[in-house]
């Protein structure tokens, strides 16, 4: 799951293979912003059928690829 999330994030933030790590804080690194979060949620909905609402999730809960993967598992 984490690898799938990283693959989606690679496309969104334009990162290269191996640049993103599971425990990397995407907001602190300046890789994810408001638009990136919306893009990520749209892609997660397409890929996993999981509908996540921005207003229900604080940034701390989706700060790293590992936390995003955890969130998807909870929603599935």
Partner 1 sequence: MTPFSGLLFFYAMGILLLPAIVLGLMGKPLRHYGLMFTFVMLIFIFSENGQLVSLTVFYLWETVLCYMYLRVGKKSRITLILVVTLSLLPLAAVKLGEIFATLRMFRLLGVSYMTFRGVQVLLDIHDGKLKELRLPDLSYFLLFFPSVASGPIDRYQRFATDLERKLSRDEYMEMLRRGVWKLLFGAFSAIVASGTIHSLWLSPLPDHGFLATLSYMYGYTFYLFFNFAGYSSMAVGTAYILGISLPENFRMPFLSVDMKDFWSRWHISLSAWLRDYLYTRFVRGSLKAKRFKNPRTASYLGYILNMTVMGIWHGLTPPYILYGVYHSLLMCLNEALDLHWKPFRKMKQKGWTHVAAVIVTFHLFSFGLLIFSGRLFS
The interface mask with partner 1, positions 3-42, x = CB under 8 A, is: ---------------------------x--xxx-xxx-xx
Cα of first residue to Cα of last residue in the chain, in angstroms, is 12
Number of other CB atoms surrounding residue 38 within 10 Å = 12
By CB under 8 A, the residues from 45 to 64 that bind partner 1 are 53-56
Determine the Cα–Cα distance for residues 17 and 19; give it in Å rounded to an integer: 6
Tokens at residue 40, please? 């990520």
Cβ closer to partner 1: 4 or 39? 39
* Residue ranges binding partner 1 (CB under 8 A): 30, 33-35, 37-39, 41-42, 53-56
């Amino acid at each position: 799951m984490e690898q799938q999330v990283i693959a989606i994030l690679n496309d969104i933030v334009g990162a290269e293979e191996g640049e993103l790590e599971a425990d990397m804080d995407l907001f602190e690194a300046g890789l994810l912003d408001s638009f990136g979060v919306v893009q990520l949620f749209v892609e997660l909905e397409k890929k996993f059928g999981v509908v996540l609402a921005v207003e229900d999730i604080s940034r701390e809960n989706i700060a790293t690829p590992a936390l995003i993967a955890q969130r998807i598992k909870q929603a599935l």
